Amino acid sequence: MKNRKLVMIPGPTPVVRSIQDQMGRETVAFGDPGFINDVKQVVKDLKTIFKTEGEAFVVAGTGTLAMEMGIANVTKEGDNVLVVSNGFFGDRYIELCERKGLNVDVISSEWGTIVPVEEIEKKLSEKNYKAVTVTHVDTSTGVCAPVAEIGKIVKRFEDTVLVVDGVCATAAEPEYLDEMGIDVLITGSQKAFGVAPGLAIVLAGPKALARRESLGTIRDYYIDFEKWIPIMNNPGKYFGTPPVNLIWALQESLRIMKEEGIENRYARHKKVSRAMQAALEDLGFTILAEKEYRAVTLSNVIYMDGIDDGKFRKILAEEGAVVAGGLGAYAGKMFRLGHMGNIDTHDIVSTMSAIERTLYRLGVKDVLGKGVATLTSELVKVPELAK
């Protein structure tokens, strides 16, 4: 019998049955009284969980649309923008901002490391930037930026709005907008939320909303905060047809999150990721990200000598786990393993065992049970709650 394939890539992540069920429901009119209440609930939950007095937007689109929405509402042509890049998705903001006619300065880190906060502070004190973009977890490197520290710094610069790309972090890494100084948080449905792809989710705090107001009419239409604010607050109104079933799926994902408790969810991700990373290192792999900046949502795993990327990922899929390849200079040298969202101990242990069986089939000796032993001995420890 064929193995079921666990989707352990950095998005889409496994979608649990109760969320799938929401997508299988009969679609109703967007003006349906029940659906109107559901949208209100989703908006309220997003603002409560991620702690902002501002606004929440849920629109059909992917994380990239959310990136565009995030920057388009807080800048206008000719503005200076600072892009802090820790990898591929950080770099994506460069072209995106340039196409909008923004003057872009970039500070990037070597892949696997972060841009030091002192460098960000130095840049901000040299020039007036209307916005700074930071990728919380860059999926290409598995590096997590110190967003809380960056937020503290940006808060001191009255004119600068902090836009955080949380596509691979939100719902797994702590992100509390107003207290952390995150002015715009952009994310998507298919990563740590554990919903199917298709929703762009954006949260905007008071500083970002004041900026939007000061801009008057902006060039972008579909992603204009001012088009959506009346809808998010009064979902019976029409602007663009809401993706009804995906919004229900997100509502279920938020219900799961509230049931688990957001702090517990953050602690779970930390525990699982550290256990996974320890086990991978025990098997002889190298984790790309420096230890203190490792993401909790995914691991970027460099092969030991003699392992062929194509063969490894093909056999691993046969053994029941799908992982992603490396990007950029790491293509062929690394695989990317997602361990975020609504996954449980079965998923984690099965994935580790499938990795061992794959190495065994590739001729690596003394590997069966080794990673699982490390992983499970870490998992049974009492969770060390987030510092």
Ligand X SMILES: *Cc1c(COP(=O)(O)O)cnc(C)c1O
Using CB under 6 A as the binding rule, whether residue 64 contacts ligand X is answered as yes
Task: Say if CB 343 and CB 15 are below 8 A apart.
Answer: no
Asked if the bond preceding 12 is cis, omega within 30° of 0, the reply is: yes
- Extract the tokens encoding 307: 């392992």
Region from 17-25, 135-143, 336-344, 354-362 binding ligand X, contact rule CB under 6 A? 135-143
Q: 245 φ, ψ to 5°? A: -70, -35
Write down the least CB distance from residue 110 to ligand X, Å.
18
Write down the least CB distance from residue 332 to ligand X, Å.
20
Using CB under 6 A as the binding rule, whether residue 371 contacts ligand X is answered as no
Using CB under 6 A as the binding rule, whether residue 135 contacts ligand X is answered as yes
Using CB under 6 A as the binding rule, whether residue 108 contacts ligand X is answered as no
Using CB under 6 A as the binding rule, whether residue 109 contacts ligand X is answered as no
Total binding residues for ligand X by CB under 6 A? 13
Q: How far apart are CA 184 and CA 81, in angstroms?
A: 14
Q: How far apart are CA 188 and CA 65, in angstroms?
A: 9
Per the document, the length of the chain is 387
Q: Site residues for ligand X, window 307-326 (CB under 6 A)?
A: none
Query: Can you list the alpha helix ranges (DSSP code H) found in the chain?
Result: 17-23, 33-49, 63-72, 88-99, 117-126, 147-155, 177-180, 206-214, 225-233, 244-260, 262-282, 309-319, 345-361, 370-379
Among 70, 151, 174, 188, the residue binding ligand X under the rule CB under 6 A is: 188
Site track for ligand X across 86-105, x = CB under 6 A:
---x----------------
Using CB under 6 A as the binding rule, whether residue 168 contacts ligand X is answered as yes
Q: How far apart are CA 135 and CA 85, in angstroms?
A: 7
Using the minimum distance from each CB to ligand X, give the nearer residue, 23 or 185. Answer: 185
Q: Site residues for ligand X, window 7-36 (CB under 6 A)?
A: 11
Give me the residues that bind ligand X (CB under 6 A), please: 11, 62-64, 67, 89, 135, 138-139, 165, 167-168, 188
